[in-house]
């Protein structure tokens, strides 16, 4: 028996879910209106309060909090992890971290499994501005084929991989690739977003294996160093 609170704030959508024994029993989401995730601070607190009230009203005790660990919006990730730590401290819960790009593969494996050949590779992409994306490659068992990395997309991107495997691209970063990557082995799946409701299969596995983070020292996986810019209004 397990009950896990899930928090996802890596993009412009802020979402919270609660799963019990692997089944989602609560889910709410809202868009921040900013690709930098800046609106998540106000909205996340409301969603988490709703989730906590839901479980308290049903007398369901939490066992852990799972949080999307990145890459993604620097501000969004920081807010999500801070909230997850706060709930863990306040309720004496374990902390589970889940790679954002792996979370994005869950709806593909659940909803598009019949479309995927055995040798298909999954390529989640998060928009990192201009022609850059945060991406990785996984096989159908979620074994990493290419590590998470920033990549500037051009017509030669994934050229060697596409010559050997069908590759399924998805996520908001894949939109900029459709007109650039034209190989016959390149396939695109629309509408895939990292959401809290997709986190439960990965979180349940980590909970069963007791793969927990140190609540005091855990930090998001930003991938690239954050650089603060001065407002043009002050220049």
Interatomic CA distance for residues 140 and 221, integer angstroms: 23
CA distances from 154 to 42, 98, 101, 147 (A): 37, 29, 21, 19
**Span between the terminal Cα atoms of the chain, in Å:** 57
For residues 125 and 39, membership in a common domain is answered with no
Measured at the CA of 142, the angle between CA 141 and CA 143, to 5 degrees, comes to 90
Domain count, the chain: 2
Are 120 and 39 found together in one domain?
no
Q: Cβ contacts of residue 224 below 8 Å, gap of 6+?
A: 71, 128, 150
Tokens of 100: 């954002």
CB atoms within 10 A of CB 2: 15
Those residues whose C-beta lies under 8 Å from the C-beta of residue 99, and which sit 6 or more positions away, are 68, 69, 70, 148, 221
Same domain, 94 and 198: yes
Looking at the structure, do residues 88 and 125 belong to the same domain, yes or no?
no
At residue 1, the pLDDT reads: 67
Express each pLDDT in 12-53 by its tens digit.
899 999 999 999 999 999 874 444 444 566 799 999 999 999
Q: Are residues 96 and 126 in the same domain?
A: no
Q: Are residues 198 and 95 part of one domain? A: yes
User: Is residue 40 packed enough to be buried (19+ CB in 10 Å), middle (13-18) or exposed (0-12)?
Assistant: buried
Are 151 and 94 members of one domain? no
- My answer on whether 37 and 153 are in the same domain is no
Digitized pLDDT (tens) for each residue of the chain, 235 residues in all: 699 999 999 998 999 999 999 999 999 998 744 444 445 667 999 999 999 999 999 999 999 999 999 999 999 999 999 999 999 999 999 999 999 999 999 999 999 999 999 999 999 999 998 889 999 999 999 999 999 999 999 999 999 999 999 999 999 999 988 989 999 999 999 999 999 999 999 999 999 999 999 999 999 999 876 444 454 554 4
Range of the domain at 123: 101-189
Residues 116 and 153 reside in one and the same domain: yes
Q: What does DSSP say about strands 3-8 and 64-68: parallel, antiparallel, or unpaired?
A: parallel
Q: Are residues 108 and 180 in the same domain?
A: yes
CATH at residue 161:
3.30.420.40
Q: Do 93 and 121 sit in the same domain of this protein? A: no
Considering the domain architecture, whether residues 27 and 79 belong to the same structural domain is answered as yes
Report pLDDT for 216: 97
- Dihedral angle sign, alpha carbons of residues 24, 147, 171, 65: positive
């Amino acid at each position: 028996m397990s009950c896990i609170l899930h928090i996802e704030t890596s993009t412009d959508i802020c979402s919270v879910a609660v799963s019990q024994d692997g089944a989602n029993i609560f889910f709410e989401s809202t868009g921040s209106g900013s690709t930098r995730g800046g609106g998540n601070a106000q909205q996340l607190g409301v969603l988490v309060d709703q989730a906590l009230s839901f479980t308290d009203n049903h007398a369901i005790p939490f066992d852990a909090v799972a949080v999307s660990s990145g890459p993604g919006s620097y501000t969004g990730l920081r807010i999500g992890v801070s909230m997850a730590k706060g709930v863990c401290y306040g309720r004496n819960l374990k902390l589970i971290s889940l790679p954002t790009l792996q979370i994005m593969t869950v709806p593909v494996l659940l909803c598009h499994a019949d479309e995927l050949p055995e040798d298909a590779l999954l390529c989640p992409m998060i928009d990192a501005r201009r022609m850059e994306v945060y991406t990785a490659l996984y096989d159908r068992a979620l074994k990493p084929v290419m590590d998470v990395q920033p990549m500037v997309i051009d017509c030669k991107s994934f050229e060697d991989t596409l010559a050997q495997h069908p590759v399924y691209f998805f996520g908001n970063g894949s939109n900029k690739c459709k007109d650039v990557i034209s190989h016959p082995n390149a396939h695109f799946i629309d509408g895939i977003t990292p959401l809290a409701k997709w986190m439960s299969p990965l979180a349940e596995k980590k909970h069963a294996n007791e793969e927990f983070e140190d609540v005091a020292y855990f930090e998001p996986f930003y991938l690239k160093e954050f650089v603060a810019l001065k407002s043009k209004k002050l220049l």
